[in-house]
Amino acid sequence: MSRRLFCEISPLTYTISVQKMRMIRHVKNCVSMIKFAETKGEPLPVLVFKHESLMRRRLGDVDMRLQENKVINLSLATSKINGVIIKPGEVFSFWKLVGSCTKRKGYLEGGTISGGRVSSDIGGGMCQFSNLIHWMVLHSPLTIVEHHHHEGIDMFPDYERKVPFGCGTSIMYNYLDYRFQNKSAFDFQLVVYTNKTHLCGELRASESLSESYHVQEEEAEFVKIDDVFYRKNTILRQVIDKRTGNEIFREIIKKSHAKVMYDESFIPEDKKVAYQ
């Protein structure tokens, strides 16, 4: 039997561990030489990429009340980021802009994933926001400098999925952040907002890009091993020269091998492969 970590002993030790991690990140932010993006402005002229994400989704047996609360949480958080300009050399930090999601600020109990299980907490739903930002950043020359993922598990069956599995993010105030840096010579900007049904985002720039970016899924399949299904895929990104149409380079973003946590009846038959 493996020895339990300090944070696993009790709810109190978990809280102590979380506060410790938050304090460490706060100190690092204070002493670092990082220039964080803070300035906001009117929309920049060039649309680089846009995406929208359905806010109310059928996620297994998750209480729809948590979904409705998530809509409110997202509307509060988008106001903190909408219009932010990331100047050359600056770093975008999700938590530096959004801050803590507390009841005092109007945030409600929303769905979260903790320890590989569905849970809930005040401010739940922020992962959908960082997912949206991450997907847009992948379609740009911006450099991701901090990214965490719900490793090794596929929690929910696909429902109106537009982004390939494996392109998600995992964030936790403030020690699990989502960050990217602008190493280009011109400005980028995030325009984000909610409407009645979707979380919407635009990545904009001050100048046109000479390259286009394409992200796609390959080798997608569900493999049954020892009576358990695992989801596998490979996420590739291509960079194309807009002038010539030639591929400049391609890279593997991620290879997934995640345990399926839902009933196999939700797995498409044409994606199942021979048992191993």
Provide mean pLDDT across the span 106-110: 95
Residue 62 has pLDDT above 80, yes or no: no
Provide mean pLDDT across the span 131-154: 94
Assigned domain for 243 exists: no
Assigned domain for 26 exists: no
Assigned domain for 175 exists: yes
Assigned domain for 47 exists: yes
Assigned domain for 108 exists: yes
Assigned domain for 23 exists: no
Note the pLDDT tens digit of each residue in 198-241: 999 999 999 999 999 999 999 999 999 988 999 999 999 999 99
Assigned domain for 61 exists: yes
Domain that holds residue 153: 36-207
Q: How many domains does the chain have?
A: 1
Residue 117 has pLDDT above 70, yes or no: yes
137 in helix, strand or coil? helix
Residue that has been written with the tokens 């602008």 in this structure: 182
Residue that has been written with the tokens 């739940």 in this structure: 124
Residue that has been written with the tokens 């978990």 in this structure: 14
- Rounded Cα–Cα distance for residues 180 and 142 (Å): 7
Pairing of strands 85-86, 188-194: antiparallel
Instruction: Tally helices (H) and strands (E) across the chain.
Output: 4, 13
